[in-house]
Amino acid sequence: MNYFKWLGTTCVVLCAFSCSQEDIVETPENLTTTEITAPIAKRAGLKPIGSGVMMQAFYWDVPAGGTWWNVVNSKVADWSNAGIDAIWLPPASKAQNGPFSMGYDPFDYFDFGEFNQMGSTETRFGSRSELIDMIDTAHENGLSVIADIVINHNSGGASEANPYTGGNTWTDFNPMSGNFYRSATDFHANNVHNNDSGAFGGYPDLCHYQSYVQDWLWKNPNSVAKYYRDVIGFDGWRFDYVKGFEPWVVKEWKNEVGGFSVGEYWDSNVSTLNYWTSTAEASAFDFACYYKMKDAFMGNDLTALNDDMLWKQNASRAVTFVTNHDTDEIINNKILAYAYILTHEGYPAIFYKDYEEWLNKAQMNNLIWIHNNLAGGSTSILHVDTDEYIAKRNGYNNNGLVVYINNSDAWQERWVETNWSNTVIKDYTGNSSWEPTTQSGNWVKLQAPPRSYSVWSVK
């Protein structure tokens, strides 16, 4: 997330009344059996998350005005046909900045654009019905839908006397949905816990050690997690700013409601990322890979790709990416970076603007096809120097591949050892017209065009 792009923060007093935690009922009114079973029925035939490629289906400051869910709805069929298996949505519930918010300043976890609070009824992205309709369309096209979960902090509470600080804090949350009222006791510091791993920007920091907070976030039948899953229809979770709370929170959420889970642990240290994934029992975005690709493709030194990354430590827990809504530093040679993550291990995520606006969609679709059909098995690096990088996937229920990335200004050729003996191979990108035959010892000469790549496999 990038909170510094917010349009401002103004705390709004929403209600003249208060409600004690003891007065809250366990099941929201108007929650019917049909509402719960409908999303479950529509999940039949979904592609397993991780079997294809993830689409980050937004960017920072998507158009306001409540149109974004409809934009996504219009694209999911094409994305599914291209080989996408899941879409990651921005935080979908009402936030402090209402119609202008990207959702990372959460106020009411149960308002998806149906209550007139925080300056609007709809969210920046649209209405609750438009969200559910879009999720239904995604499910009908075999796509899972990943929710962006922001539970480190809240925003938009009214001022109240705080016995734990001796002054007033913005910790009085009275959402119009009538669910998950919060007060000073639910934030740090309080009667049971002074702090956790980290607060952000001075915003009220939720205390996950409070049983009341745990109940409302994931444990109770009407918890945030179960409402997102059973009523709205989400299939997986992207946890925002997981440095701010302990990994057991993600683990308990996932164990309670299931679903693919990935954390935004923004750190380039591979050991730290690997520790977090093991402790949380969830995936993490491979920031180690991201920064090494930045060194390789922005710094013009492909030897950086030899360094350690999360996908090399634990590919099943690594979500690789070239850019996201927070950062877009790999600008030069960006298609080469996509050629890297879409031919290597890990679960690759592609960015909406890269796919829809900035890069060649035919090239992206070709790389997605290569990932889904050829990029199986373990990885062996065959050659790396400043300008050239060659690696092979050893195959798993497919023939595997050899990827040749060339960051120089001229065509390059190199002899490499493949997995194929006396076999005709071809470049599945179409960048090279060669169709060489491998020798009996598996060796073959390959080529790659300048500032480009080739991907070779059995013809």
Which residue, 212, 214, 209, is CA-closest to 189? 209
Quick one: pLDDT at residue 13?
29
List pLDDT tens digits, range 320-370: 999 999 998 999 899 999 999 999 999 999 999 999 999 999 999 999 999
Half-sphere exposure at residue 120, Cβ-oriented, CA atoms within 13 angstroms? 22
Quick one: pLDDT at residue 32?
55
**Tokens coding 343:** 């031919």
The predicted model scores a pTM of: 0.92
**Per-residue pLDDT band at 19 (split at 50, 70, 90):** very low
Q: Mean pLDDT over all residues of the chain?
A: 92
- Per-residue pLDDT for 8 more than 50? no
Phi, psi of 87 (to 5 degrees): -120, 140
Which residue, 352, 348, 343, is CA-closest to 378? 343
Cα 317 from Cα 284, distance rounded (Å): 6
Q: Domains, the chain, ranges and CATH? A: 30-373 (3.20.20.80), 379-458 (2.60.40.1180)
